Amino acid sequence: MASRKTQQPPAILILAAGRGQRMKSGRVKLLHNLAGAPMVCHVARIAARLEPSFLAAVVGNQADDVTSALSTEPGLDGAGLKFATQERQLGTAHAVLQAEPLLARAGVRKGVLLILNGDIPLIRVSTLKALLRHHRGSGASATVLTTKVDDPSGYGRVLRDAHGDLVSIVEDRDANASQKRISEINAGLYCADLTVLFDALRRTRKANAQGEHYLPDLFPILRKQGLRVEGYLHPDQDEVLGVNDRGELARASGILYRRKAEELMEAGVTIVDPGCTYIDPEVRVGRDSTIGPLARLEGRTTVGAGCSIGALAHITDSTIGDDVLVRDMCVVAGSTVGPGAKIGPFAHLRPGTVLESGVHIGNFVEVKKSRVGRGSKANHLAYLGDADIGEGCNVGAGTITCNYDGVHKHPTTLEDGVFIGSDTQLVAPVKVGRGAYIGAGSTITKDVPAGALALSRAQQRTIEGWAERRRQEREAGEPESPKRRKA
Ligand code: UD1
Ligand code: CA
């Protein structure tokens, strides 16, 4: 059983002040999108799941944007994230020092500080817990998570003595040829005892290739003080991938999507081709649902049980009930879809759409900010915007709600059981009463009372034999009379 000590939640600090030169971008590296969220938000989310006693990030480059990304991240609600500013990026040791006053103000002066580089988005909660356990169990003053990688270039290499004890970490740019061959690297995740951390960091020197105060220099400094330091070797090299350039960003995103697909398959979801399915980490999918190839499920999306999500469907921030059929190539954003609904192919549900149970939205139908009541159908080529549609309505092919007058948006209301004939324009604001019918091809500009039939199309004129007479005239070389042409 874990001792009381190992159960104490740690204080956590995320380093997020760097620029990320290797991205070759106008935007700081940590804001680059990875599986639906800025990279740094993945790290912060994982940190929050450890329920830390204190959680802060050090920001610097594009500080306002990084702060706002972290503050608005839904996964961090209530985590009480605080911010320290590093005005000039003088290195990772200097970055940690910027949080000292913040910790002091919060009354956090002892215990363990877990320090996380902001660019390690694949790290798992279980691994951080194992690092904490190792740190506390060994009684070390500082512990670094290490791993052995196939290609250690770019990382700090871990130097150990003849007993296998960690001595120091040498940065790639400071390493000599034999050190460069070491495959054990610093993952950029650390535990440190707060009573010794800051004094040791103040002793770091910038006599290195980058002229920076290196956080890993903490280890030899503590060792010289006779304190114990540890390197905790973790077996999974994928998990500690540091994202520094666009190639690593793509690799990280591939790993995250693969991981999510595996998690869902284990929970009873069929993923037709896990190699090309893009499901964000926070998305939930119920059992016996099937996800087709190239589907993207993003943000705060929930899919119920027994659903079928077709190929190339793109669903963002939406709630899909049980037994819903989303056919191929649908785009769904900010919408709620009730159980048993059928959508698509090629349907577009825009934010604010609510489809109640059993609704059918067919091909090339766009729905925006509208409610469609239980069992209603709009099966072909329609635009329904700012509409409130009751239960059991039938909206014919080509129906358009003319909701915009160039200045304002107006509502359309269809009460229960309304039948709208094909190719109808409903010029909003307009209301069609319960059970009313609209004849095909109508332009409806005035409210229609319950139970009525409204039609607004012109009378049809039929001229018998017209086509045959025209053919004969043509063959005879006669010019068409203006009168005839009109007819
Ligand atoms: C760092 C480690 C290296 C390790 C690697 C793991 C140092 C000196 N080196 O190298 O040993 O193998 O991570 O991925 O720590 N940051 C600040 N302020 C600064 C500098 C950096 O907040 O002044 C932040 C960055 O935003 C980033 C993190 O610290 O989130 C790491 O910085 P980065 O420049 O990526 O360090 P690496 O060169 O990758
Ligand atoms: Ca890095």
At 482 the pLDDT is 56
Is the pLDDT at 453 greater than 90? The verdict is: yes
H or E segment and range at residue 232: strand 229-234
Amino acid at 134: H
Q: Which residues contact 444 (CB under 8 A, 6 or more apart)?
A: 424, 425, 426, 427, 430, 432, 438, 454, 456
Distance (Å) from CA 117 to ligand 1 centroid:
6
Please report the pLDDT score of residue 1 as a whole number.
Answer: 41
Handedness of CA 63, 67, 69, 75 (dihedral sign): positive
Instruction: Calculate the CA 452 to chain-centre distance.
Output: 48
- The CA–CA distances, whole Å, from 70 to 14, 208, 219, 259, 455 equal 11, 32, 30, 23, 55
The answer to whether the beta carbons of residues 14 and 96 sit under 8 Å apart is: no
Please state the atom number of ligand 1 nearest to the C-alpha of residue 214.
8
Q: What residues form DSSP beta bridges with 260?
A: none
Please name the residue ranges forming H helices in 208-299. Answer: 218-224, 246-266
For residue 135, count CB atoms less than 10 angstroms from its CB and return exposed for 0-12, middle for 13-18, buried for 19 or more: buried
Cα–Cα distance measured from residue 421 to residue 400, given in angstroms and rounded to the nearest whole number: 11
Task: Judge whether residue 330 has pLDDT over 60.
Answer: yes
pLDDT at 7: 61
Note the pLDDT of residue 408: 96
CA 191 – CA 260 distance, rounded (Å): 28
Residue 363 DSSP one-character state: E
Over 90: is that where the pLDDT of 307 sits? yes
Q: Average pLDDT over the chain, rounded to whole? A: 95
Question: What's the mean pLDDT in 378-402?
Answer: 98
Which ligand 1 atom sits closest to the C-alpha of 18? 26
* Percent of the chain's residues with pLDDT above 90: 93
> How many other C-beta atoms can be found within 10 angstroms of the C-beta atom of residue 357?
17
- CA 22 to centroid of ligand 2, rounded, Å: 10
Whether 152 lines ligand 1, by a CB cut-off of 6 Å, is: no
pLDDT tens per residue across span 140-162: 999 999 999 999 999 999 999 99
Helix ranges restricted to H, 98-217: 100-105, 125-138, 177-180, 194-202
Query: Which amino acid residue places its CA nearest to atom 30 of ligand 1?
Result: 118
Residue 484 above 80 pLDDT? no
Binning pLDDT at 50, 70 and 90, where does residue 2 land?
very low
Cα(62)–Cα(19) distance, integer angstroms:
8
Q: Quote the CA–CA distance of 288 and 305 in Å, as a whole number.
A: 6
In this prediction, residue 478 carries a pLDDT of 75
Each residue of 214-234: pLDDT tens digit? 999 999 999 999 999 999 999
d(C-alpha 171, C-alpha 163), whole Å: 22
Question: Near ion ligand 2, which residues have CB within 5 Å?
Answer: 119, 242, 244
Confidence of residue 5 (pLDDT cuts 50, 70, 90): very low
94 is catalytic: no
Give percent of the chain with pLDDT exceeding 70: 97
Which atom belonging to ligand 1 lies closest to the Cα atom of 29? 26
Query: For 359-375, what is the mean pLDDT?
Result: 98
Dist. CA 468–CA 141, nearest whole Å? 100
- Of the candidate ranges 64-68, 233-237, 376-380, 432-436, the one whose mean pLDDT is the lowest: 233-237
Q: At 4, is the pLDDT very low, low, confident or very high (cuts 50, 70, 90)?
A: very low
Residue 84 has pLDDT above 50, yes or no: yes
Counting ligand 1 atoms within 8 A of each CB, the residue from 12, 14, 15 with the most, and so the one to mutate, is 15
Q: What distance in Å separates the CA atoms of residue 176 and residue 192, rounded to the nearest whole number?
A: 28
User: Residue 31 CA: which ligand is closest?
Assistant: 1
Cα→Cα distances 291→34, 37, 442, Å: 21, 21, 40
User: Angle at CA 260, nearest 5°, toward 256 and 263?
Assistant: 140
Residue 480 confidence (pLDDT): 60
- Give the model's pLDDT for residue 483: 56
